[in-house]
Amino acid sequence: MLRKADVDVRKKNVTPDQIPYSTIVRLTQYLRVVEKLDELGVSNISSAELSDETHINSFLVRKDLSYFGEFGTRGVGYEISVLKRELKSILGLVKRHKTVIVGAGNLGRALVHYSGFRDKGFDIVAIFDSSPEKIGASIEGFKIESVFVLEEYLKSNPDVTIGIIAVPAASAQFIANLLVANNIQGILSFAPIAINLPEDVVYAAVDLTTHLEIISYYITNPDARKSYSLRA
């Protein structure tokens, strides 16, 4: 068992703006592993073992974690429960995030059904669409609201901070502008188009077709798979 003094997070070594985006991406991978191991009752893990589980170089594992302080003891490793707690704290997952979905097509409906959002602290609180055929229908206990009341809804619920866009490309920028104008701080877009947003809005895009095209490339070119395995 590690001593408390060994596992307490020390003073951060850098300011948040100095931490690379790639490090934050990898932190989410570390969290997946430690959550799984915690469920299995594993108590400790070394950087080498974390490297094996994530396929990320052990030097990078140690470097990524060192940005935020010290989490373990040389020769012993990291205490799983502590590392899990600290990673969740770093990623802002210790509080709930109220989230709206715009677009009630097949993708939007699937997102509402996805329990992983709720498990991670992202609470879907409303879903909107522009189609008269969909407005008023229910999904998982949510009534699909008209997109024309989205602005009013956000003004009445200022604690909603995240918007998920699941609309066709032609409507994506308009919806993004509407979300940003009503104090949404972060946007996850599934629309197959680049969206222009202010720099202070956190934005991530998921283009499913692009990922399938990448998979197709590596299937078609087996010799290139080594470089794919080193992408982290």
> Whose structure tokens read 């604690």?
159
The chain-wide mean pLDDT, for the chain, equals 88
Please choose, from the candidates 89, 104, 83, 221, the residue with its C-alpha nearest in 3D space to the C-alpha of residue 165.
104
Identify the helix (H) or strand (E) that includes residue 165.
strand 160-165
CATH class, 4-90 region: mainly alpha
What pLDDT is recorded for position 72? 65
Which ranges in the chain are annotated with CATH 1.10.10.10?
A: 4-90
CB–CB of 72/87 below 8 Å?
A: no
- State whether CATH 1.10.569.10 applies to domain 97-210: no
21 to each of 4, 112, 113, how far by Cα in Å?
30, 28, 29
Q: CA 72 to CA 46: how far, in whole Å?
A: 9
Residue type, 33: V
Which ranges in the chain are annotated with CATH 3.40.50.720?
A: 97-210
Strands of the 122-129 sheet, one edge to the other: 145-146, 122-129, 97-102, 160-165, 186-189, 202-205
What pLDDT is recorded for position 13? 61
| Phi/psi of residue 115, nearest 5 degrees | -75, -15
Q: What are the tens digits of pLDDT across the range 1-46?
A: 333 333 334 445 678 878 898 999 999 999 999 999 999 999 999 9
Q: Which residues contact 215 (CB under 8 A, 6 or more apart)?
A: none
Q: Which residues contact 195 (CB under 8 A, 6 or more apart)?
A: 165, 172, 173, 176, 187, 189, 203, 205
Per-residue pLDDT for the chain (232 aa), expressed as one digit of tens each?
333 333 334 445 678 878 898 999 999 999 999 999 999 999 999 989 999 999 898 899 999 998 887 776 676 788 999 999 999 999 999 889 999 999 999 999 999 999 889 888 999 999 999 999 999 999 989 999 999 999 999 999 999 999 999 999 999 999 999 999 999 999 999 998 999 999 999 999 998 888 888 889 888 988 887 666 555 5
